Amino acid sequence: MGLVLAAAFVLFYITVGGLSAAIYNEVLQFFVIVAALLPLTLIGLHRVGGWSGLKDRVAGDGMLGAEQLHTWPGQQLSGFSSPLLSVIGIVFGLDFVLSFGYWTTNFVEVQRAMASKSITAARMTPIIGAFPKMLIPFIVIIPGMISAVLVGEMTEFKQAEAAGDAATAAATGVTYHDALLLLMRDVLPNGLLGVAIAGLLAAFMAGMAANISAFNTVVTYDLYEQYVKHGAEDAHYLKVGRVATVAASVIAIFTALIASAFSNLMDYLQTLFGFFNAPLFATFILGMFWRRMTPTAGWTGLVAGTLSAIALWLASTFFGLFDLPGQGLAFVSAATAFVVDILVSVIVTMVTKPKPAHELKGLVYSETPKTDLVDAEEAELPFWRRPVPMAGIALALVIGLNIVFA
């Protein structure tokens, strides 16, 4: 019921306010999420004896915890038995294909940059987002670690799962989805518990609003206007967009129920990203830097990459041709989709006719004048509004965090 009510509220303000309402609410909801989950992290760390106490308890729990405190080789994450294959899977499948695909071809993120007023503002959009993004592990991952050692049901579930005892794990009645909720139950007083629940609802609503606004834009302008009814009045497209918003809200509710069938949300998300974002990234990066590539090749490669990832997932999940626990299957599927997309696109390009150079301006890097790629006023802006210095600061912080925690 709470899911439906939250979806109805999101539907209302997206329908009335459009993209601007979605963006402003997402910004406000971020602060609600941080205010809700930061106390959970701080109180939880206090209960387990601080960061050092948490590491000691995780490493000493007998559930391969020591390995899970480090990024490399990441075999518990990837599911590979070989450390080398695990590193390759994480670096290529996750870090390169999935991560770059998410930040550069996911329309939810791209739409925010496209809504900006200048090239500089568009380039700053993901850079600004990178700074609060660094806080996410402290309010999401660390509470999950605390829950695994502090909440009795989660400890029993994880021990049974690590031992391969599916029956005992199921008998606990919990899954990884319950980790934060159970930790809230055990460590937060009533007042903060209400704030924390509000934070979880804000997180759901922010994600839902972002995807709905992207969905109705693509359906209305890229599909309906392009292929169904071209040249109609704006009022007509506005009506179509609102219908698409309602449809997207209904779809969002059902996909939330589908996600609950996975052992944890990241398995579900990485699987979907492997199906769709990975081949999109391959098509985009090849088309942006290779002017010979043709539209037919782009579409064919995209479909082939998606189908290859789905086929690989079906072969593992339903036919048991190979077994990759953790997120390794998503990494392999993403890498496969990327490679298949590139190969098919190159082959099809060789036998199809390319577009003339004048039609590629603004689409292909080599055919776009360099003056169109920069903002003439950028040099006069203070450093904290320029992409290059702020990107350098973000990169330095990321490297520092990886040195400390990886």
Q: What are phi and psi of 100, to 5 degrees?
A: -65, -40
Q: Is 209 contained in some domain?
A: yes
Q: Copy the structure tokens of residue 46.
A: 């206090």
pLDDT tens per residue, range 86-112: 888 888 988 899 988 888 888 778 887
Q: How many domains does the chain fold into? A: 1
Distance CA 268, CA 100 (A): 18
Distance CA 371, CA 331 (A): 38
The parent domain of residue 236 ranges over 2-96+123-261
Distance CA 3, CA 400 (A): 38
Q: Copy the structure tokens of residue 337.
A: 């989709």
pLDDT tens per residue, range 119-129: 888 889 889 88
Q: Copy the structure tokens of residue 237.
A: 């497209």
CB 19 within 8 A of CB 115: yes
Distance CA 266, CA 43 (A): 25
pLDDT tens per residue, range 154-185: 888 888 877 777 788 888 888 888 888 899 99
Distance CA 281, CA 279 (A): 5
Dmax (CA) for the chain in angstroms is 67
Residue 212 has pLDDT above 80, yes or no: yes
Q: Is 252 contained in some domain?
A: yes
Q: Is 77 contained in some domain?
A: yes
CB 79 within 8 A of CB 328: yes
pLDDT tens per residue, range 273-300: 899 999 999 999 999 999 999 999 999 9
Q: Is 163 contained in some domain?
A: yes
Q: Output the pLDDT for position 391.
A: 95
Q: Is 271 contained in some domain?
A: no
- Of 200-214, 272-286, 308-322, the range with the highest mean pLDDT is 272-286
Q: Is 27 contained in some domain?
A: yes
Q: Is 37 contained in some domain?
A: yes
Q: Copy the structure tokens of residue 295.
A: 């539209």
Give the residue among 313, 320, 221, 231 at the shortest CA–CA distance from 271. Answer: 313
CB 54 within 8 A of CB 291: no
CB 102 within 8 A of CB 273: yes
Residue 352 neighbours by CB under 8 Å, 6+ apart: 294, 296, 297
Q: Copy the structure tokens of residue 397.
A: 């912080």
Q: Is 340 contained in some domain?
A: no
Residue 250 neighbours by CB under 8 Å, 6+ apart: none
| SS3 letters across 333-360 | HHHHHHHHHHHHHHHHHHCCCCCCHHHC
Q: Output the pLDDT for position 311.
A: 94
